[in-house]
Structure 1
Amino acid sequence: MSRERDERHALMDLGHEHPQVAVRARNLSPIVPRASIAGRALIAVVAIMTFLASITTGAVLLVAASAAEWQSDVASEITVQVRPLAGRDIERDATAVAEVLRAQPGIVGVRPFSKAESAKLLEPWLGSGLSLDDLPVPRVIVARIAPGAVLDLAGLRGRTSQAAPTASVDDHRAWIERMRSMTGAIVFAGVGVLLLVIIATIISVSFATRGAMAANRPIVEVLHFVGAGDRYIANRFQRHFLRLGLEGGLIGGVAAMLLFGFSESIAGWFSGTPVGDQFGALLGTFSLRPSGYVALAAQAVLIAAITAWASRRTLFATLNDID
């Protein structure tokens, strides 16, 4: 009796030193450690990649929107130049051409530029304060086209030539083609950057997954020993990396959204400067539309999904090596 009592006391002491953990609590313990240096590093990498991808996408959306506005404005106008010719009164020719434009169906507004206004257009190249009396400065007439109207440009060119032999009609088609080419090149470059970001994310996730599998190899071998299948183990690791991808994507996406949200205020600081004017002409008001923010949020979720997909592919390849 004394010996049995001593053994019971020993077991009680052992149980006190190592308290038993409930089965449910043991099942809640994750296979992959949630807080690790590799996990924090992967979150930082995914956040940086998401931020760069979001900045690229936002810039492409801004340029595309500005280019669409440019094309809409340019396509809604035609420009007529009346050049000086010896023996002819340029003012009379400009007035005659303006009357021809006003009589043209589909044109809703005609604005002839005066001599002073025409000279002001040359200031960016010739500077201000320069006398242009001796220079053959042409007169410029801008005509606005009604929305949806189709002009007979061939007939219009013939009538303007009759009114003024030196008149030339420009429908800005060359400028529109250049804008389309520029926009297409920017979109192509943006897609290329996004592909590079996705490839870098896949490579980073693959290395992180292999590192996590190497660190937890004894656990994986024990799970295999007790009968756990590859799919069960892969699902546990995939959830871990999906959570890391979502955290990184959320951080990078929100940072990019905040940047674009404050970009209009930042642009206001540089307004009036040459750099600010150039960026304003290229990107407009720097403010994304609501659909742009939706695109950035969807992109962050996509990068998180790519993180989970890349980890799953690497997991099965690594598990096959372990087997």
Structure 2
Amino acid sequence: MSARLPAAIRRAARRLRALASFAEERPLAPSSGVVARLVVFASASMSFLAVVAVAIGMAADRAAQGWAEELARSATVRVSAPPARMDAAVSTALRALRTTPGVADARALTDAEQRALLEPWLGPDAPLDELAPPRLIVVVPDGPGPDPEAVNARLSAELPGPELSARYDDHGRWRAPLLEAARALRALAWSAAVLAALSAAAMVTLAARATLAANGKVVDTLRLLGASNDFIARAFVRRYALRAMAGGAAGALAAALALEAVAPLAARALGGAAGLAEAGWVAAAAAPLLAGAAAWAATRMAVLAALRRPE
């Protein structure tokens, strides 16, 4: 019995050397060629799209949160009155607001501020004196702020009559839809990223199975030499995972640089609250690892499933 063990060990060693030599001479997953380039290109493309989608979703969510916080820090009162009585109506509304619990401060917009506020819609030469638009009062809440219904009731009492009115707006009707839209956009961005990852995994799966089918005789020879399914699968998994990781890194870097280039435009359009470039680099940092992991899992499952299928 003891004499047989060294012989068995020698046979196993020879078989392992034969397997290693054969696998080295005839690699199942070549490092170059159309299929290899296709895997890299698909991973780079999907990584680019995923990083852009996630970065836009993160930036939109951050911008919406910033806008909602800005809206929560202030409220407005719209005062309507005939031109001859407008100043008196504004003064009355200011006195009422400054003595209302929950109001830290209140001030009326100047004519220049009101003109600048209306200029994007009416133009710089709009005759505001003839249009007589309502005057706006900016209110700074104290803590959670006053009760809107109570404030409106008091303003109605202070400014009675059909020609006079003042309406308090805490911007709550704007905050809720804004945050809801941001949540929907974030969910859409992550869905796009997941779809891109699944598309890349499907492409890698097709490439791996095509390579396996093209090397059927090599696989048969490896099996005759005693190679297990795991041994054959590892020949695919490592190469395809590295290719996907390289492609993912290239696509993520390209996406981050593209977002860095358009970030100043987004900052101007969104009031500097977007953080698009920062979100892009955060998403790009994770993309290569996720691409490699997805390729590893997809390749392993596809190859093992094909090898276990009966002839």
TM-score, length-normalised on structure 2? Answer: 0.82
Which of 35, 51, 55 is equivalent to 1:58?
55
Aligned residue in 2 for 1:226: 225
One-letter amino acid matched to 1:199: L
Per-residue deviation, 1:301: 1.4
Q: Does residue 288 of structure 1 match 2:304?
A: no
Aligned residue in 1 for 2:262: 263
* Cα 1:322/1:257, change in 2 over 3 Å: farther
Q: In structure 2, how many angstroms separate the alpha carbons of the residues matched to 1:318 and 1:281?
A: 51
Q: In structure 1, how many angstroms separate the alpha carbons of the residues matched to 2:213 and 2:18?
A: 27
**1:1-323 mapped onto 2 (5 Å cutoff):** 26=21, 29=24, 30-85=27-82, 89-146=85-142, 148-165=143-160, 166-265=165-264, 267=265, 280-281=269-270, 284=273, 287-289=276-278, 293-321=281-309, 323=311
Cα deviation digits, residues 280-301 of structure 1 (max 9, x gap): 1288455433x65333322331
Cα deviation digits, residues 145-165 of structure 1 (max 9, x gap): 24x434333322222222224
> What is the DSSP-based 3-state SS (H/G/I as helix, E as strand, rest coil) of the residue aligned with 1:39?
helix
Q: In structure 2, how many angstroms separate the alpha carbons of the residues matched to 1:293 and 1:119?
A: 40
Per-residue deviation, 1:243: 0.8
> What is the DSSP-based 3-state SS (H/G/I as helix, E as strand, rest coil) of the residue aligned with 1:227?
coil
Q: In structure 1, how many angstroms separate the alpha carbons of the residues matched to 2:228 and 2:115?
A: 81
One-letter amino acid matched to 1:84: A
> What is the DSSP-based 3-state SS (H/G/I as helix, E as strand, rest coil) of the residue aligned with 2:287?
helix
Per-residue deviation, 1:25: 8.3
**2:81 touches 2:89 (CA, 8 Å); kept in 1?**
no
Q: In structure 2, how many angstroms separate the alpha carbons of the residues matched to 1:100 and 1:292?
A: 48
Q: In structure 2, how many angstroms separate the alpha carbons of the residues matched to 1:215 and 1:24?
A: 19
> What is the DSSP-based 3-state SS (H/G/I as helix, E as strand, rest coil) of the residue aligned with 2:131?
coil
**In angstroms, what is the RMSD of aligned CA positions?**
2.7
Q: In structure 2, how many angstroms separate the alpha carbons of the residues matched to 1:292 and 1:164?
A: 52
One-letter amino acid matched to 1:302: L
One-letter amino acid matched to 1:234: A
Per-residue deviation, 1:307: 1.2
* Cα 1:24/1:184, change in 2 over 3 Å: closer
Q: In structure 1, how many angstroms separate the alpha carbons of the residues matched to 2:219 and 2:59?
A: 48
> What is the DSSP-based 3-state SS (H/G/I as helix, E as strand, rest coil) of the residue aligned with 2:81?
coil
Q: In structure 2, how many angstroms separate the alpha carbons of the residues matched to 1:27 and 1:316?
A: 20
TM-score, length-normalised on structure 1? Answer: 0.80
**2:61 touches 2:182 (CA, 8 Å); kept in 1?**
yes
Unpaired segments ≥5 residues, structure 1: 1-21, 268-275
Q: In structure 2, how many angstroms separate the alpha carbons of the residues matched to 1:119 and 1:282?
A: 20
Per-residue deviation, 1:31: 4.3
> What is the DSSP-based 3-state SS (H/G/I as helix, E as strand, rest coil) of the residue aligned with 1:34?
coil
> What is the DSSP-based 3-state SS (H/G/I as helix, E as strand, rest coil) of the residue aligned with 1:129?
coil
Q: In structure 2, how many angstroms separate the alpha carbons of the residues matched to 1:225 and 1:95?
A: 97
Unpaired segments ≥5 residues, structure 2: 1-16
Name segments (4+ residues, structure 1) moved above 6 Å: 22-25
* Cα 1:32/1:118, change in 2 over 3 Å: closer
Per-residue deviation, 1:231: 1.3
Per-residue deviation, 1:125: 2.6
Q: Percent identity?
A: 27
Cα deviation digits, residues 73-92 of structure 1 (max 9, x gap): 01111110010159x72211
Q: In structure 2, how many angstroms separate the alpha carbons of the residues matched to 1:282 and 1:188?
A: 23
Q: In structure 2, how many angstroms separate the alpha carbons of the residues matched to 1:208 and 1:50?
A: 18
> What is the DSSP-based 3-state SS (H/G/I as helix, E as strand, rest coil) of the residue aligned with 1:117?
helix
Q: Is 203-212 or 279-288 further displaced after alignment?
A: 279-288
